Amino acid sequence: RVLITGGLGQLGVGLAKLLRKRFGKNNVILSDIRKPADNVFYSGPFIFADILDYKNLREIVVNNRITWLFHYSALLSAVGEANVPLARAVNITGLHNVLDIAAEHNLRLFVPSTIGAFGPTSPRDPTPDICIQRPRTIYGVSKVHAELMGEYYHYRYGLDFRCLRYPGIISADSQPGGGTTDYAVKIFHDAIKSGKFKCYLRPDTRLPMMYIDDCLKATLEVMEAPAEALTMRTYNINAMSFTPEELAQEVQKYVPELQVTYNVDQVRQAIADSWPMNFDDSNARRDWGWKHDYDLPELVTTMFSYLGSDSRIAQAN
């Protein structure tokens, strides 16, 4: 059976839906340190779990006969910079607990990494799988640590550790939680709600981005790939890169009256400027045939098909 930690975050609920279709509703357990809305309970098993409580987590793994663990608990980029002690505890001590339990109980372990695992001295255009990684956020540092520790446990203890570095993920029915790439989700909601969008990044800030369905597809694919197909344990995955300006132009095809203003937040701009601009995912495409389905036009069409694109203003006119 499957356990997802940090399951109430941007990716967890969607991942649970995909895995429950694949493995059966009761074989996928969502967990988080937050109380979910009632509907989460209707869609399948949920367990309240604090990944900093090693004994409790081990009990959950043993009592529920967990064999696969997707570890999504983490404080992401800007949120982490606002609370470094908590980010270090959750992202590093929490990871250590999960690694030990996974090794002890022979779990197949997925831990997401990120474009944020690279820094200003990494090649940015494109950023390959293997290159210098000196990130400047506690989030990035903790994710490089996760990659290194996961690979060490794989080579030292035989842990079946698998890891994908995600771009900024865009989703319609779940809120992002990191802060730096989240402008690319908010623009859709603001376009519909008010027709006005204030962007905290410069218009020319290019970042790798991906629609959530591609992200979840890649995650399931890499977990189901035969071990002999994997020449590495940590892979970049890529779909597209765009700037706020390019995204706004695409969104304005649906909400022409959208007005975008730029009010740069130095903290998040500095984070974005230290991240890759384009992601090289050729190893993932070679090893298990990874390919993305959504480019920018498809992303925007799909987001508006979820959210509706007839903005209030259009309705009002």
Of these, 27, 31, 73, 77, which contacts ligand VAH (CB under 6 A)? 77
> Is 315 buried (19+), middle (13-18) or exposed (0-12) by CB count in 10 A?
exposed
CA 169 to chain CA mean position, Å: 6
Closer residue to ligand VAH, CB minimum distance, 76 or 138:
76
How far apart, in whole angstroms, are the C-alpha atoms of residue 9 and residue 176?
7
Confirm or reject binding of residue 115 to ligand VAH (CB under 6 A): yes
CB of 215 to ligand VAH, least distance (A): 11
Distance of CA 69 to the CA centre of its chain: 16
CA distance 127 to 138: 20
The reply to whether 283 sits near ligand VAH by the rule CB under 6 A is no
Stretch that binds ligand VAH, among 12-20, 61-69, 177-185, 245-253 (CB under 6 A): 177-185
| Cα gap 215→206, rounded to integer Å | 19
All residues at 6 or more sequence positions from 289 whose CB lies less than 8 Å from its CB, including other chains: 221
| Binding of ligand VAH by 73 (CB under 6 A) | no
Q: Is 182 in the site for ligand VAH (CB under 6 A)?
A: yes
178 touches ligand VAH (CB under 6 A): yes
Q: Is 139 a catalytic residue?
A: yes
Stretch near ligand VAH under the rule CB under 6 A, chosen from 61-69, 94-102, 179-187, 243-251: 179-187
Burial environment of residue 37 by CB neighbours within 10 A (0 to 12, 13 to 18, 19 or more): exposed
Q: Of 72, 139, 153, 254, which residue is the catalytic one?
A: 139
Q: Is 277 in the site for ligand VAH (CB under 6 A)?
A: no
The residue of the chain with the least Cβ separation from ligand VAH equals: 178
Q: Which two tokens stand for residue 99?
A: 């690694």
Q: Contact between 122 and ligand VAH (CB under 6 A)? A: no
Dihedral (CA of 170, 125, 76, 133) sign: positive
β-partners of residue 196 are 259
Query: Catalytic residue positions?
Result: 139
Residues of the shown chain interacting with ligand VAH in the complex, contacts defined by CB under 6 A? 76-77, 114-116, 168, 176, 178-182
